[in-house]
Structure formats: C-alpha cells, structure tokens
Structure 1
Amino acid sequence: MLAIKLPNLDFLSQRRKALILSGVIMLVSLLSLAILGVNRGLDFTGGTLIEVGYKTPADLADVRAALSDGDFGSVMVQQFGTPRDVLLRIPPVGDVNDAELSQRVLRALNAAAPDQVELRRVEFVGPQVGKELAEQSGLAVLFSVMGILAYVSLRFEWRFSVGAVAATVHDSILIMGIFSLFQIDFDLNVLAAVLTVIGYSLNDTIVVFDRVRESFRKMRKGTALEIMNKSVNETMSRTVITAGTVLLVVVALYAFGGENLRGFSLALIIGVISGTYSTIYIASAVAVMLGVSRHDLIQTPKQAEVDARP
C-alpha cells in the first residue's frame, strides 16, 4: 500500500507579502464602504418590491421612461432571470398601501406597452422594520465576533484568539467591500451568508490551530514558524477537499438558483475562498507575529497538576 506523501510548502514565508496584500484590500474595501456604502435591499430600507412579466423581451430604458411618466421617479429597475422578467424596487411612498401602489405601477407600464405586462409578485417592507433589521444585523455580527474571541481564548491561547478574530473580520469586510464596490444588493440573504462565512472561517481556523497545538507537543525540535508550517501542510488536504466541495455547491447555486439566491451564493463563494486564505495568511500569520511559542501551548507538569484539581 502506497504511503501518501504530505506536501511541504513554506506557506508562512510569504506572510508579510500576504499581510500587505490583505491590508491594501481592506483599505479599498473600507474606503468603498465609507464613500459608496452598501446598496441596501428593501429588507433594510423599507419599500415595495414588484416583479412583472412581459410577453416579449423588455427594454429597461422604456420601462424607466414609462414609470417616470407615471410619476415614479426613483424606482430601481433590473432584469430578473429572463429578458421578459423585470424587478422594480420602489422606496416608501407616503401612506399608499402596497396593493394600490402595485396597481398604479401596472397601469403606468400598460400605458406604455398595452396588454404586454402582468403582475407576478408584490412584497412590502415598512421603513421602521427595515431600520430595526439593520440595527439587529449589526449586533448579530458584533456578538459573533465577541463570541469567537471568547471561545478561542478559552480553548487555545490569546494570540490565536486575536488571529482568529482578525481572519473573520478580514473575510466579513472583504465580502461587504466587494458588494459595496460593485453596488450589489445587500439584503438579509447576504447577511446570512456573511454570518455563515464567519462560522466556516472559524471552523477552518480551529482545525489548523488544533493541529498546531498537537504538533507543538509532539515535535521537540523546530521553531514556532516551522511547526506551524508543518501543521498547515498536514491539514491542507482536508482544507482543499472541504473548500472544493462547498465551492461546487455554491457555484451551482449561483448558476442555477435564480435571482433571489444570487447575492447569497456570491457572498458564500467569496467567503469560502477568503476563509481558506485567511486561515493561513491572517490567523496563523498574526499568531506568529505576536510571538506564539512552545511555552504558550505546553503546560509544565506543575501547571497541569494545578489545572487537573477539582
């Protein structure tokens, strides 16, 4: 039976270059978030979402002109799936209810294209609900990061905790930065994907850190950098298989899941790639730069005896 040879790649020798690259990416993402912001969906802003279907392929410029003639000046118009499907996002309009608003929109569209338009779907979110969702979403991300900091600190060592938090913050900001830069709709589905990526990235980081702790206990020779490199190499096959399998699913979801799941699956694709990268070049690199050593992970006999007491 052939033995599988483990890779012996010097990942962490490139940690400084990787950190500089990540720093530039984070700077661009933060600037985009500060200047452009995120294109918040109706879940956060409130308003009405209307899906209409045309019998022939629709010209978005004509749709916008028809809505402008009907006194709807600030409607976001986009293709939804096929060229015949159009999605309209309308901000809150006074005290008009969604049923009346949808009929007014339908009349305006039919005036420009008689008997060509049919109403498919109407969704309404109140502005107060949207504001509350935005606040609660921010708190959800904040509590997730705090929980990660506490969990890794208790299970490992504070340097690893800082590295794990840096990796999850890196992944979250990267996703939000890309969505901000390209003004892709950021709704509750995308937020769910961000929280999923936080969990995925943490899980990948914990697997590597657990192997690092075992390697420190087994290997009596070697620097901290050599031991961490060996641990990353030992977990690489697991990382590649896990990330590859997840990517196959989310790419298929992006391609065939429809417009409603497009943002969710895109965020997951970015997050899986970024999470795999950040485990090595953010979490592990930060722990090395903070000076993690064998003494931090291996208890002396006296310490072990004290910890074992009830």
Structure 2
Amino acid sequence: MAWRLKLVPTHTKIDFFRWQVGTFGASVAAVILSLVLVMTMGLNLGIDFKGGTTIRTESTTPVDVGAMREALAGQDLNDVTITEVTDPSFRADQHVAQIRIGPRDGEEAVTPESIAVLEAALKGVDPAITFPAVESVGPKVSNELMWKAVLSVVAASVGILIYVWMRFEWQFAVGCVAALVHDVVVTVGLFSLLQLKFDLSIVAALLTILGYSVNDTVVIFDRLRENLAKYKTMPLRDMMNLTTNETLSRTIMTATTTFLSLLVLFIFGGDVIRGFVFAMLFGVVIGTYSTLYVAKNIVLFLGVDRGDKPKKSATPDEFSKVDA
C-alpha cells in the first residue's frame, strides 16, 4: 500500500465546544480590541485613501535617508516621508526607497513641476538614482475610493448573508456573516496595531478572505445539513462536533496548502504585494479559526429548526431536556 501523508487522523473525536466560553470570549475580545485600535491608533492609510504622491527610487548606491531628506527640505513640499525598502529578491546593488508626499492645501496632488524639481534635487545627492514609478492620487479621488472600499466589503457580506440564507436557514446565515465580520475586523485591527500600509490591495485581500472563509464554512454547514436529516434525535451540539470532525481533514488540508502557497509569495513575491500576501496569510489562519469556533457557536446558540424530529408527548420535565 502506498504511503500517504495525513495531517489529521482519519477518525477524530475532538470536542470543539469544550472551551467554547474561552474561544468565543477571545473572539469577542479580539473584535472589540481591534475596533479600539482602529479608533485610537488609526490606520496607516496608503496613497489610495489619503491622497498625495508616491515616488519609488532605485540606485546602485546605498540609500542615505538623511541626505535625501536634507535635499528635499527646501523644496516647499508637504508631509514628506522617506522609507528605505528591503526585499530578499533585490540584487546586491539594488537599493530602493519610497518617498511619500502629501498634497498642499488647494491642490489635488503634487504638480508635475514640483516632481521634476524633487527629482533634480535627489539626483544632486545620487547621480545614479532613477525613478521607476510615480503615483499621484487627489484627496477627492481618495475619499471616493475609501467609501467604495467600505461599500465593497459591506456588499460582499450582505451578498453572502443572502446566499447562505437561501441555501440553508437564517441561523446559518447569521453565524456565517458573524464569522466573516470577525475575520475582517480582526485583520484590520492587526494592520492598525502594526501600522502596516493600508491601501486598495489590502481591501482586495479582505474580499478574498471573505470568499475563502465562507467557502470553508459552507462545506461544514452542508455536511451539518446532511447530518440533521440522518441523525434526527442526536443533540445539536454532538452533531456539530461530529460534522466538524468529519470535515476536519479537508479543512486542515485546504488551510495548509493555501498557507504554504502564500508563504512562498510572501518570501519571494517582492515588496509590492507583501502587504496583500500578509493580510491573506493572517486571513487564512483567522478564517479557519472562525469557521471552527465562531460560526458554529452562533448557530448552536440560535438553535436550528428540527421540525421533522419525531414528536413526543409532553412531560413535566420536557423543557429541561431540550437540545442546546
């Protein structure tokens, strides 16, 4: 018989509700903490949402941030930030920096004339410097992009809510969307905590996380629906444990293979997509966690209509034996 790699045993009997108070409480605490971080620390908004101009520089000589800042000091530029960019994929003689300039009052973005003066000043510091990318976004456009980003996440969540509601029952839809909101809020909270750049690529990552997480949750819910018809008298809590154990191998395999693919992109993909990939890496982990410990807990709390369950004559202690 050929040897096969197994990430989990064929038959598991893990009680996923054993620590349900702790796991669900930790999820609620993480969501609240993330909201507090966003309100207090804010997000390190990228040029897409804040407006301004970003210039990427490259040179064969090491980046001297101090000299570059001194050269730009007298150029009448607003809110200049210079950051050296490092990446394992860069050549030994490839030195990259990113210069971010905020727009001045009354201007949509930094003018081409100002950019030309800036480039000339930097060439005076390093004649070998080049400018492979210049991006400008005005404040009005950035505000529109911010609202569209928020609406896109809300629209995706509402669409998923309707889809799951039509496919299963409303309890499943509420549990699924609650898990998705948990994933998005905690991911945004992490970006606020680490002050990582938050731009349109991160919004794309959030939408991708929504799709990944709901796919994982729907697989478990589909098996749960089958088991509801198969085990009509089994308590709902036991049935959910059985369902999750039956699909655990698939859940772990999907998460592991996706995580490994993203990890390769994170290491070798370059700094341009690193923020997107980092959000996806965290999203795979938090999405798997919410599938196992958030969505099911809410469905268990709300209960499931089991009207096809054989009816019994009422007894004085009937309600003390109702399934959780």
Give the TM-score of the pair, scaled to structure 1: 0.89
| One-letter amino acid matched to 2:120 | R
Bigger Cα displacement from structure 2, 243-252 vs 78-87: 78-87
Name stretches of at least 5 consecutive residues in structure 1 with no aligned partner. 301-310
Task: Verify: 1:159 aligned to 2:159, yes or no.
Answer: no
Counterpart contact for 1:160–1:287, Cα < 8 Å: yes
Q: CA deviation at 1:280?
A: 1.2
Distance 1:104 1:46, change over 3 A: same
Which residue number corresponds to residue 107 of structure 1?
A: 120
Q: Using a 3 Å threshold, how does the CA distance of structure 1 residues 234 and 90 change in structure 2: closer, same or farther?
A: same
Deviation digits for residues 223-245 of structure 1, max 9, x if unmatched? 10110001001111111111111
Deviation of the 1:165 alpha carbon: 0.8
Q: Could you tell me whether the CA contact under 8 Å between 2:48 and 2:137 is conserved in 1?
A: yes
Q: Which region of structure 1 is more displaced relative to structure 2, 63-72 or 160-169?
A: 63-72
Equivalent residue letter for 1:103: A
Question: What amino acid sits opposite 2:121 in the alignment?
Answer: A
Cα RMSD for the two superposed structures:
2.1
Contact 2:48/2:199 (<8 A) preserved = yes
For 1:190, the equivalent position in structure 2 comes to: 202
Partner of 2:57: 52
Any runs of at least 4 consecutive aligned residues in structure 1 with deviations exceeding 4 A, and if so which? 95-98
**Across the two proteins, how many residue pairs are aligned to each other?**
296
Q: Does 1:74 align with 2:79?
A: yes
Which letter maps to 1:198? L
Is the contact between residue 109 and residue 137 of structure 2 (CA under 8 Å) also seen in structure 1? Answer: no
Write out aligned runs for 1:1-310 (5 A): 5-81=10-86, 84-93=95-104, 94=107, 98-111=111-124, 113-292=125-304, 294-295=306-307, 298=308
Amino acid at match of 1:292: V
Identify the structure with the greater helix proportion: 1
CA distance in 2, matches of 1:150, 1:96: 41
Distance 2:205 2:306 in 1: 36
Render the CA deviation track for 1:20-74: whole Å, top value 9, x for unaligned. 1112211211011111221111111221111112331113233333322433351
1:304 aligns with none
- Percent of aligned pairs with the same residue? 39
CA contact (8 A) 2:101 2:110 kept: no
Task: State the Cα distance separating 1:97 from its structure 2 match.
Answer: 5.4
The 2-side partners of 1:46 and 1:200 are apart by: 31
Aligned partners of 1:48 and 1:98 also within 8 Å: no
